[in-house]
Every structure is written in C-alpha cells, then in structure tokens.
Structure 1
Amino acid sequence: MNIQRLRTTSVLLFFAALMSLSSQAMAKAPIYTSFFSDLAVSGYDAVAYFNESKAVEGSEKFELEYKGAQWRFKNEANLNAFKASPEKYAPQYGGYCAWAVANNDTAKGDPLQWTIHQGKLYLNYNADIQAKWESDKVNLIEKANKNWPDVL
C-alpha cells in the first residue's frame, strides 16, 4: 500500500510540476513556423506577394534569419528587398492566422490563403477562414492589432 501511495504521489507531483511551468516557457514564437521546421511563411517568398501578386516558393539559395526564423526568397533581389525593410514585407502577426489573432487566439497561417490590405500582408488558416476574414477585415484588423502580441 505504501508503494502504491508513493507511485500515486510521484505521478501527481510530476503533473503538478508540468502545470506550474511559467506561461513564459509556454509562449509561442513571434514568427509562426511549423513544429518540425524553422521556415517562416512555410518557405514562401514574402516579397513575391507584393511584387508578383501571388504565392511563390522561396529557394534555399536565397535565405536569411530574421526574428528567429528562416526566410526564403525566389531570388537575390527579393532577399535584398526584405533585408532592407523586413517590416514592410513580413506578414502581420508573425504569419499566424490573422482571423485567429482577431479572435484572441493563434493558428497556423497558410501561405496560399493571403491578402494584402493597405500595404500589409495577412495570412489565414484556410479558405473558409479567409472568406470570413475578407467579409470583415477592417474590423478584424482593428481587433487583431489590439490582441497582438499578447496572444502569444
């Protein structure tokens, strides 16, 4: 009986220790990357959204680190444009889904579900969420701006 009680106590202490981890330790990164990658925008070229009005995959040949994530670009010109002004090209809310941030949450941003509004790039989780975003983006941007970066 004492061994069983000791095991139960040990298990409870283990879970209590897990639960007591600070929120700082559990915070999300400022730039969304998938669990198994450190690529921002899933490896898509953030500058191409502005220059080509489409999602374009970046190349390993044109890569740089910014805010703890790796950013890829189609060519050297786009890499240099980003280097000169990353805040101009990086997606808002670190590439997390803009609709989720507006709703005080986070979700992955899909590089194929994007919008440029007033010179800023926004990503959304999927096509259904993007439709919701598009229907009320001015209001949602205002909400998301209030929630960011506290949602992390």
Structure 2
Amino acid sequence: MVALPPYARAMGMFVVEAHDSAAPASPVVAMDFSECNTGRPGFLHGGAIGGLLEMAGFATLHAHLEREGIDAQVRLKPVNISIEYLRSGLPERIFACGEVVRAGRRVANVRVEAWQADRSKSVASCWMNFLIAPKKVAAE
C-alpha cells in the first residue's frame, strides 16, 4: 500500500484502487472537491490538479520500484514535471493514475493522467522525470 505524504492528506487526497488488473497495478489517487482546492468559483484550482498529478506520479513510481524490490534502497528526486491542462476541473471527485514509461538505474520517466466522471476525458496529464539516487547510509 502506498502511503501519501502530509501535503497530499492535507489536500484530501487518498488512494482508491488498482488501475488495471491485467497489468501490474498502479495506484489510483483521488481527491474530492472542497473549499481548500477551489480556484475560481465552482472549479478546481490548477495547482491542486497539478499536486494530484505529482502525488500520483510518485505513488506510481514507488509501487513500481517496490515490485522490483528496490524501493527501500533508493530515494526519488523529481527533475521536472510538465503539465498539460486539458479541461476545467469540475466540482466533483478527480482521479489520477500513472504509468512508468521507463525506469533505469538512475532515471525514471512517468506519465500521469487525471480524469473525473469519464476516464476517456482527461482533465490534465503530465510527464515527470525522476533521478533515482541511492539512499545515504548513516555512519555507525
């Protein structure tokens, strides 16, 4: 199970389900519409949507590395994120799920999509690039 950081929990994000039973499961991160993520009246704020995409990207890569047995040995450093806003976020629950496009020894590329009622109508999407760095071991 993927644990979301305090920022995600403060924004009301939570993990809801596995994304595809035919492929290795990627977590689906959801966020309900609320006063803390409202932009212009009646719409989700773009920053809240961007935050959801980012959290889903991290959750996806963590789940992938966990399946590979190397999650505990590395730390992830985001290099960049490029977001495409495609539709206005309506006042309802929004979902996001990612796919690891490539994960090498040092770099990973993740694609994330966000949608609301209809998964075929994306609200936003993003590309994230991560540096995969070994965790520093504390001196004994």
For Structure 1 versus Structure 2, the TM-score category normalised by the shorter chain is under 0.3
TM-score normalised by length of structure 1: 0.26
Higher strand share: 2
TM score, norm. by length of structure 2: 0.27
Q: Which has the higher helix share?
A: 1
Larger radius of gyration: 1
Structure with the larger RCO, 1 or 2 (CA within 8 Å, 6+ apart):
2
